[in-house]
Amino acid sequence: MTSDYTEVFQDTEAVEKYETVTYAPDSYASRINERQREYLRALVRREFVEHPPVQHDFACGTGRAIRALHGLVREAHGYDTSAEMMTKAAEVGSRAYWHRVAGDGPVPQPVAAGFPAIVTIFRLLLNVHEGVRDRALAFAAKVLPHRGSGLLVVENHGNAGSVRHLRARRHDGERWFAELSHAQVEQLLERHGFEIVERRGFSMLTPSLHDNRMARLADSAARWLPGSDGYAVNVLYTARRIHG
């Protein structure tokens, strides 16, 4: 959560556009979100059999990850720098306790809500500097102090090994968008005491191919192939603490 993020989403029009245009029905982003929702719900049902977890959603935005787990968590807490985003989250039906946090300074203190827990960090890491990424992961480490505490799920919506990266090479190698490689995400997680236990890709398409019916059919088939997550544009990493 950089100052840019904070400034952009203090504007109610920007927040409204994010919710109603970027995530309009059948849009590129909303289709990926639907697939992620299915994955998250299956993950929680599989990993938290005895007790439902508490969800801590860092950089919660309009609460998309929170809505994905409605009915499967004991309670949910959303943390964000933008009061406007959290107001919109409540308006669209995201059910959580909302906590506004500073954009910099000490690592925010998570609410003490007990274990098990699941931390979700979506659409944050890609467009912020390394210090903000470290701050987000340090927050997750506070929520999940040991291996048995629960799970962390982190999104990379610009995998550097994807088809989108190959398109950049056709423009004289000049990159006009942010990217993170699998190795960079893994190193970030390891630095804060996490290891990846599962990696899942959700689309190999770029937004420009979203309306191409044949491309969408091919993407639906290809994303189930072993190793396809390595080439997906959008990837979720599920992790646990290494020790404890």
Report pLDDT digits (tens) over 94-113: 999 999 999 889 999 999 99
Range of the domain at 146: 5-103+111-167+176-241
Position 163 scores a pLDDT of: 62
Q: Tell me which of 191 and 170 has the higher pLDDT.
A: 191
pLDDT of 194 higher than 80:
yes
Of 33, 157, 16, 155, nearest to 82 by C-alpha is 16
- Say if strands 54-58 and 97-100 run parallel, antiparallel, or are unpaired: unpaired
pLDDT of 140 higher than 90:
yes
CATH number for the domain harbouring residue 146: 3.40.50.150
Position 32 scores a pLDDT of: 87
pLDDT of 2 higher than 50:
no
> Where does residue 241 rank: exposed (0-12), middle (13-18), buried (19+ CB within 10 A)?
buried
Position 175 scores a pLDDT of: 47
Position 157 scores a pLDDT of: 80
Position 124 scores a pLDDT of: 93
Instruction: Share the mean pLDDT of the chain.
Output: 83
Position 223 scores a pLDDT of: 58
Domain count along the chain = 1
Position 216 scores a pLDDT of: 53
pTM, 2 dp:
0.85
pLDDT of 15 higher than 80:
no
Position 28 scores a pLDDT of: 72
Three-state DSSP state, 161? coil
Residue 198: alpha-carbon gap to chain centroid:
14
